[in-house]
Structure 1
């Protein structure tokens, strides 16, 4: 059994839009929040900064925690290949430190094909993971929350 993995993610909202990585799989296009696995001896906030540089090519200022999500692979549609995965994800409110909109991360995820600003009002029209964040983001974030095991 694999150990539980921590992941740090950025929620970057600007002008009623959220910045997401654009990815592709056998079912087509899907979107993720920039971020990834925490390394040993690395604080979560430092993991968010590093992962944003790698995936979107921009440094971010990390603010407060917004969501905590668990992903237990055996409970979801990707169980065929994700059954042994248990990940705890920490979603932080972030601000871009640069105003440059040229997104050239030097180490994107394997499925990543780009970066895109998505209007908050359109989030329910796209395939985004975790989908449990769509409604709270569309309605506006009031307090940090634990969203549990969700996809």
Structure 2
């Protein structure tokens, strides 16, 4: 087992909206980007494509790294030390977002959320400000986000 879990994340933005995966659990509704851990023998680019397809039913072209996010357990209290690489992705022609045939147990939808409504949802990790900055062109690529420094969500 690796001491750091590497996650591949897809940032898909179209028409001023972001494609997110909706989850419902004991804490209510929250959202995540299409994302997940890399599998043995898989490149990070292969993982981004697989996760976008498995969670959102879309085939994507993978673009540049937008930013890197670290979840350090000793700073956040989470169990797993994780490094997430977030890539700008583009949906291939004739591919439409949809619920996958075998969703994660708590996955309840695949939704386009308008960028200007991100403050009205719970997004894990809480990278709403960084996504907004990126979409506006105010965030430089390849920035490191330390999750323990992110602000708490009040909804």
> Please, what TM-score do these two structures have when normalized by structure 1?
0.86
In the TM superposition, residue 98 of structure 1 has moved relative to its aligned partner by 3.6
Per-residue CA distance 1:78-127 (angstroms, 9 max, x = gap): x3xx43x1010000000011444450323422221111000001111110
Question: Is the contact between residue 58 and residue 98 of structure 1 (CA under 8 Å) also seen in structure 2?
Answer: no
Q: Is the partner of 2:101 in helix, strand or coil?
A: coil
The aligned residue for residue 120 of structure 1 is: 115
The aligned residue for residue 17 of structure 1 is: 17
Task: Mark the runs of 5 or more structure 2 residues left unpaired by the alignment.
Answer: 151-155
Question: Is the contact between residue 58 and residue 105 of structure 1 (CA under 8 Å) also seen in structure 2?
Answer: no
Q: Is the partner of 1:108 in helix, strand or coil?
A: coil
Task: Mark the runs of 5 or more structure 1 residues left unpaired by the alignment.
Answer: none
- Report the number of matched residues: 145
Question: Is the contact between residue 97 and residue 110 of structure 2 (CA under 8 Å) also seen in structure 1?
Answer: no
The aligned residue for residue 153 of structure 2 is: none
Return the structure number with greater strand share: 1
The aligned residue for residue 137 of structure 1 is: 131
The aligned residue for residue 64 of structure 2 is: 64
The aligned residue for residue 90 of structure 1 is: 85
- Give the counterpart of 1:147 among 141, 145, 148: 145
